[in-house]
Amino acid sequence: MWIFHKAWQRSLSFSKKFRRDEDGIAALEFAIIALPFMALLFGIIELAIIFFLGSTLQSATYEASRLIRTGQFQAGDEATFKDVICRNMRPGSSDPSIASCISQMDVTVLLLSSFSQTTAFGDTTAALPIDPVTGDPINYTMTNGGDTVIVTATFTHPLNLPGTWTRLSNVNGENVREINTVIAFRNEPF
């Protein structure tokens, strides 16, 4: 019986020592918390990038639309207008190639008969004029002084984190975020 009692005391003292020994507990806690913490941290960074791109796109589209509103962009087309927006999104950039921005950009300049024509706000494809040769919608309409114009710009931003983790993807089946801006104005008389 005495041997059993000694063995019991040894195992009891070993378990007490094991409970008091905290070597490696910080590493274990970090291993448990690290993945959710990193996902949250990178999700916040991704969301900040999206907000920054949205603000930049809004500002760049406004500045480019001002050229239409004042009559300075009468000889342009859709590709040139995309180029102006992309250059406004990167002011002071020494990179002359903005092909990646242009490929991620979709622009529509729509001439309205008045501000009361609201079908263009809900579905721009229904209100776009049709090219008689190709049958495709015309995304860029030339405007004159006093015309009512709506400019929409959509920038497709590929996400760095999987959209299933952050829920930032707004295109079904793709890991991208579409950032949209709409500017409505009446041209100055020119």
From first to last of its 190 residues, the chain has per-residue pLDDT tens of 556 666 666 666 665 655 665 677 888 888 899 988 988 899 899 999 999 999 999 999 999 999 999 988 877 788 899 999 999 998 766 666 688 888 999 999 888 875 555 544 445 444 566 666 666 667 787 888 888 899 999 999 999 888 777 788 888 888 999 999 999 999 998 7
148 domain residue, yes or no: yes
Place of tokens 């990646």: 100
6 domain residue, yes or no: no
* pTM, 2 dp: 0.74
3 domain residue, yes or no: no
7 domain residue, yes or no: no
Number of folded domains that form the chain:
1
Domain, as residue range, for 35: 21-186
41 domain residue, yes or no: yes
3-state helix, strand, coil in the chain (%, to 5): 50, 15, 35
CA distance 14 to 100: 64
4 domain residue, yes or no: no
DSSP β-ladder status, 176-186 and 105-112: unpaired
46 domain residue, yes or no: yes
1 domain residue, yes or no: no
